[in-house]
Amino acid sequence: MIPTFTELQIRSLLNVIDTASPEGYRDYTMILMLLDTGIRVSELAGLRLPDVSIEDGLLKVLGKGNKERVVPMGKQVARHLWRYISHCRPEPAMPRLDRVFLTREGGSLGKDRLDKIMRAYGRKAEITGVRSSPHTLRHTAAVTFLRNGGDVFSLQRMLGHATLEMTRRYCELADVDVKRAHMTASPVDNLDLHIGHGRNKATR
C-alpha cells in the first residue's frame, strides 16, 4: 500500500505555514505544486523560469533519463506561482541562476533541503501515520487525481511513468467507484439513441 495524506492532514500541513513571510509563501507554493501536478521533488528543484508558462498553466520538467515532459497545473497553483515569482522570489545569488525556487540567500534549493522542509512542517502539524515528504505528496496527487475523475492515461503522462504498471497501482489504491464512473461514461448511453417502437416490431 502506498501511503497518502488525508484531506485533513493536507489542510493541517498548509495551515502551519507562515505565508506572510517570503520563505513561507515559497514553501506553501511548492507544496501546492507538488500536490497538484504530482511531479517528483527533483523535478521541482530543477524547475527553471523558462520552463514555466503561467498563462497557459503548463510546466516543462526534466524527468528520469533526461526525458522532458509537459505537465499541467491548476489555476490556483498558477496564481500562487505568479505571486511568488513576482513578489517573494529573492534576487539570485548568481546572475545566471534561473531556478524558480530559491533559498533565502538566493541559492538553489536541493532535494535534501526540500525533504527537510516537509519533515519540519509535518512535525509542526503533528501529522502521524504517514511520512511527511514530497514523495508522499506525489502519491497523494496521483490517487486524488483518479478519485476526482481523472483518467489513468493522463495520469501516466503527468507522472512520467514509462509504463502503466505503476499507474495501475494508484488505480487500486484509489478504489474508484466503477459503477459511478460508468453512469457518466457509458459508451451506449452517451450515443443518445432513439429507436422507434415500430422498427422494433418489424425485426421480431
Q: Tens of pLDDT along the chain (204 residues)?
A: 578 999 999 999 999 999 999 999 999 999 999 999 999 999 999 999 999 999 999 999 988 878 899 999 999 999 999 999 999 999 999 988 999 999 999 999 999 999 999 999 999 999 999 999 999 999 999 888 888 888 888 888 888 887 777 777 777 766 655 556 666 766 676 776 766 555 544 444
- Does any domain span residue 80? yes
CA distance 156 to 180: 22
- Does any domain span residue 104? yes
pLDDT confidence of residue 114: 94
- Does any domain span residue 146? yes
- Does any domain span residue 189? no
Q: Which spans in the chain are helix H?
A: 7-15, 22-37, 41-45, 75-83, 111-124, 134-147, 152-159, 165-174, 178-185, 197-202
**CATH number of the CATH domain containing 107:** 1.10.443.10
pLDDT confidence of residue 177: 53
The model's pTM: 0.82
Catalytic positions, written as ranges: 40, 64, 135, 138, 161, 170
pLDDT confidence of residue 169: 75
Q: Please state the domain count of the chain.
A: 1
- Does any domain span residue 138? yes
- Does any domain span residue 56? yes
pLDDT confidence of residue 195: 60
- Does any domain span residue 73? yes
Cβ distance 22 to 85 under 8 Å? no
Which residue is it, cell 500536490?
A: 35
3-state SS class at 154? helix
pLDDT confidence of residue 63: 82
Domain that holds residue 45: 7-177
- Does any domain span residue 198? no
